Amino acid sequence: MNTVKHTLTRNAVRQRRRDVVENDEFAAFARRIIRAHGRRVAAGDVEAHRDLVALSTNLDQAIGEAVIGLRAFGYSWAEIGARLGISRQAAQQRWGGEKP
């Protein structure tokens, strides 16, 4: 007897697109926190400066993970590039070497 739940298989997941939920608000929240961290450093918290700079690396990693996830979810390089205002080729060159 086959007990595989087809709704949970990778192919079934790839065929579905996720609804956009509160992305604008979530992104605005993240921007506010980063700006607040910058203001904290600017107010003399030199120890926090290293952590603020490290966020750049974390952000690059998060973008790479997001692209990997979008590709696994079935989005094309053209779709990803279009939403970023860059060409398919530029998106693929920047993130195409990433492996899950």
Q: What is the pLDDT of residue 97?
A: 74
Q: List, as one string, the DSSP characters of 13-28.
A: HHH--PPP-SHHHHHH
Query: pLDDT tens, position by position, for the chain (100 residues)?
Result: 656 555 555 555 555 566 666 888 899 999 999 999 999 999 999 999 999 999 999 999 999 999 999 999 999 999 999 999 999 999 999 999 745 4
Q: Give the helix/strand (H/E) hosting 36.
A: helix 23-42
| Whether the Cβ atoms of residue 48 and residue 37 lie closer than 8 Å to each other | yes
| Whether the Cβ atoms of residue 68 and residue 80 lie closer than 8 Å to each other | no
Q: List, as one string, the DSSP characters of 57-97.
A: HHHHHHHHHHHHHHHHTT--HHHHHHHHTS-HHHHHHHHTT
